[in-house]
A and B are shown apart, each in its own frame.
Chain A
Amino acid sequence: MRLLPFEYAARNLGRSPLRLGISVLGSTLVVVLAIAAFAFVRGMDRSLADSGSADNVILMGAGSEESIERSEVRPNVAGQAEASIFGIRSEAGRAFVSPEVHAALGVALEPDAEPVGQAVFRGVVPAAFQVHPQVRITEGRSFRPGADEVIVGELAATRLGVPNERLALGQVVYVDGRPLTIVGRFAAPNTVMNAEVWAPLTNLQIMTKRDGVSCVVLTLDEGEFADVDVFVKSRVDLELAAITERDYYRQLSNFYKPVKMMIWVTAILIGVGGLLGGLNTMYAAFASRIREVGTLQSLGYPRRAVMLSFVQESMLAAATGAVLGALIALLLLDGVSIKFSMGAFGLLLDGPTVGFGIAAGLGLGLFGSIPPTLRCLRMPIAESLKAA
């Protein structure tokens, strides 16, 4: 099939700068929005997925499997698990067993001030750094056991809604008037821990007025989940439930499904709005060229060639918008963190996300051009030639 020259499609774009502007703008907006929605959902998913390790098992209070914060585990469980469960990883004689207290606490910046927000605190012992190898101290040092010291994740400031400098090394924050000095900062990229504040286990037990812990996280080496399950079921007196860390966060991810769904629905609705706007623009643009379509066909161009040229034209505008949209999205959204109840997560702006956005823009160009083109081409040539 012989095609119309590419210049025909390209120059047709210049016929109406206003229409071109509207088409490009529509595509740009849809692409920015698609990238934002996709980056949000993927960022949240990754944050929850990467938070869980395949080898880690969480021992929680029976009946509280849905929330670590509500879970209550007796103080002696860590020791009993370490002694009883087969195949727990250990290094230099230290077993990878981490008793932890999880609590959302109000953080104030001054001793008597109202809290500026809630941060997710995790009270831990040194073994926590073994079972959560994603956590790396990037500045300062770890806290000393028993001291009123904390280390903060790199997104903790986002979670609290305060400037990053306010959680710099040496700064002091207050929980119920108790001063906590920031002695270190850590990174746990793409995990919920990245927005947490870590403190010595005993301090957090005091601050939350509890004897036990929220959970015990252990890393298996040769052992399997079944080994942990046998322990839990044989020690009914401890009232425990076991869940792999991955399953726990997957379950949390399901909890956020309605939020993600809402974001998709909003994005799709706006995308449909963009599509309808694009259709309207293209209907108007192509309707004014019906006679030209008839002329091209009378010269011998088959309908497919004319159609392809019109689609090409629409795709050119959409592609321009898509590139612009992708650039704007990268400029505006790169490095942006969103806070949610589990902490905070960064928008995931990678190749697939940007690719998805650009594909949405190109899809808009494609599907926005086909119906108006078909409408033009459906008319008999003789009728087209009579068009105004």
Chain B
Amino acid sequence: MALIECRQLTKTYRKGESTIKPLDRLDLDVEQGSFLALMGPSGSGKTTLLNLIAGIDHPTSGSLTIDGQNIAKLSRSKLAAWRSDNVGYVFQLYNLVPVLTAYENVELPMLLHPISRKERHERVATALSLVGLADRHDHYPRQLSGGQEQRVAIARAIVTDPAILVADEPTGDLDKPSALAVMDLLTRLNQELGKTLIMVTHDAQTAEYANRTLHLDKGRLADDSVQAAFSGETATTQGAAS
């Protein structure tokens, strides 16, 4: 069974008189441990899909089952608890809390879990070491470079050991060397720690890090390609999941 199963997943918004449908009856399976890139033009529904999988938005209809649980049916408060247990989110603009140090930013999601201060400290230290910023733990975001900020954000996303990492244009605001470092880090998290990684990107080169790329258009799946690194050969299924 796939880790993530979308069935007839639809999201509509009302904007004035008109109805916008960023996701239209999407069917999709994502296996555990895969690295999925979501591509497509603006308004194609890729960020909407990412947000639905991250549990920060509710679908209008259809089902979204993650690890056997249909999160489309969870209440707002249960969904918040589910997020803190299952998902780590990496944002394009890092979204670190400016008044907290790197350590405190990484610690923030841990405070939602009933564990001892000692264990919390160990896990924050481990996460910061993993992203290579152990020596910057007491720096505030304004004292870090963009690349370092994003690495702190990645540490924050993985500190609770979630099964799924979602990343919305994680390199969109970085220079090339920083972008490479961040992508190497995300790839390691996928390959070495087995995290299921779903990433929205506009950049084809960045998408190449993924082992599967979905192209969305007008809320539907336009193209689903599996890269060689993952499957042994590239396979493309036009509209496979629609």
Q: Which residues of B are found within 8 Å of A301, using beta-carbon distances?
A: 80, 84, 112
B151–chain A nearest beta-carbon distance, Å: 16
Interface string of B74-108 (1 = CB under 8 A from A): 00110011011100010101010111100010001
Size band of the A side of the interface?
Answer: 20 to 34
Stretch at the interface among B33-41, B50-58, B126-134, B222-230: B50-58
A300–chain B nearest beta-carbon distance, Å: 2
With contact pairs A5-B111, A8-B97, A11-B99 given, residues A300 and B84 touching in the complex (Cβ less than 8 Å): yes
Task: Establish whether residues A295 and B57, one from each chain, have CB atoms under 8 Å apart when the complex forms.
Answer: no
Give bound CA distance, A380 to B22, whole Å. 16
A378 on the B face (CB < 8 A): no
Q: Which residues of A are found within 8 Å of B84, using beta-carbon distances?
A: 299-301
Chain A, 1-60, CB within 8 A of any chain B CB:
2-5, 7-8, 11-12, 14-15
Give bound CA distance, A381 to B15, whole Å. 17
Q: Which residues of B are found within 8 Å of A5, using beta-carbon distances?
A: 104, 108, 111
Task: Establish whether residues B100 and A299, one from each chain, have CB atoms under 8 Å apart when the complex forms.
Answer: no
Assuming A7-B104, A295-B97, A298-B56, what are 12 further A-B pairs, CB within 8 angstroms?
A12-B99, A296-B97, A299-B83, A299-B84, A299-B108, A300-B80, A300-B85, A300-B112, A301-B80, A301-B112, A381-B56, A385-B91
Task: Pick the contact of B112: A2, A292, A303, A382 (CB < 8 A).
Answer: A2
- Sorted nearest first, the 10 A-B pairs with minimum C-beta distance are A300-B84, A11-B99, A295-B95, A381-B56, A300-B83, A2-B112, A382-B51, A299-B109, A382-B57, A302-B80
Q: Which residues of B are found within 8 Å of A291, using beta-carbon distances?
A: 93, 95
A297 on the B face (CB < 8 A): yes
Residue of A nearest to B47 (CB): A382
Give bound CA distance, A380 to B79, whole Å. 13
Residue of A nearest to B58 (CB): A380
Chain A, 368-388, CB within 8 A of any chain B CB:
380-382, 385
Across chains A and B, the number of contacting residue pairs, with CB separation under 8 Å, is 73
Interface string of A146-166 (1 = CB under 8 A from B): 000000000000000000000
How many chain B residues touch A (CB < 8 A): the figure is: 28
Give bound CA distance, A382 to B156, whole Å. 19
Q: Which residues of A are found within 8 Å of B54, using beta-carbon distances?
A: 298
Residue of A nearest to B80 (CB): A302
Give bound CA distance, A11 to B97, whole Å. 11
Task: Pick the contact of B99: A8, A295, A381 (CB < 8 A).
Answer: A8
Task: Establish whether residues B109 and A300, one from each chain, have CB atoms under 8 Å apart when the complex forms.
Answer: yes
Give bound CA distance, A2 to B83, whole Å. 14
Task: Establish whether residues B98 and A295, one from each chain, have CB atoms under 8 Å apart when the complex forms.
Answer: no
Give bound CA distance, A259 to B85, whole Å. 61
A220–chain B nearest beta-carbon distance, Å: 68
Q: Which residues of B are found within 8 Å of A300, using beta-carbon distances?
A: 80-81, 83-85, 109, 112
A115–chain B nearest beta-carbon distance, Å: 64
Q: Which residues of B are found within 8 Å of A299, using beta-carbon distances?
A: 83-84, 89, 108-109, 112, 156
Task: Establish whether residues A297 and B104, one from each chain, have CB atoms under 8 Å apart when the complex forms.
Answer: no
A312–chain B nearest beta-carbon distance, Å: 13
Q: Which residues of A are found within 8 Å of B100, using beta-carbon distances?
A: 7-8, 11
Residue of B nearest to A291 (CB): B95
Residue of A nearest to B86 (CB): A300
Task: Establish whether residues B98 and A15, one from each chain, have CB atoms under 8 Å apart when the complex forms.
Answer: yes
Q: Which residues of B are found within 8 Å of A292, using beta-carbon distances?
A: 95, 97
Give bound CA distance, A14 to B100, whole Å. 12
Task: Establish whether residues A14 and B99, one from each chain, have CB atoms under 8 Å apart when the complex forms.
Answer: yes
Q: What are some 18 contacts across the A-B interface (CB < 8 A)?
A: A2-B113, A5-B108, A7-B104, A8-B100, A15-B98, A15-B99, A295-B97, A298-B56, A298-B83, A298-B89, A300-B83, A301-B80, A303-B76, A380-B57, A381-B51, A382-B51, A382-B56, A385-B51
Task: Establish whether residues B77 and A302, one from each chain, have CB atoms under 8 Å apart when the complex forms.
Answer: yes
Give bound CA distance, A314 to B84, whole Å. 27
Give bound CA distance, A241 to B69, whole Å. 86
Residue of B nearest to A304 (CB): B77
In this complex, which of B85, B89, B95 has the most chain A Cβ atoms within 10 angstroms of its Cβ?
B95
B230–chain A nearest beta-carbon distance, Å: 28
Give bound CA distance, A292 to B98, whole Å. 9
B106–chain A nearest beta-carbon distance, Å: 11
Q: Which residues of A are found within 8 Å of B99, using beta-carbon distances?
A: 8, 11-12, 14-15
Give bound CA distance, A299 to B100, whole Å. 15
A298–chain B nearest beta-carbon distance, Å: 5
Give bound CA distance, A221 to B156, whole Å. 81
Task: Pick the contact of A297: B56, B85, B91, B93 (CB < 8 A).
Answer: B56
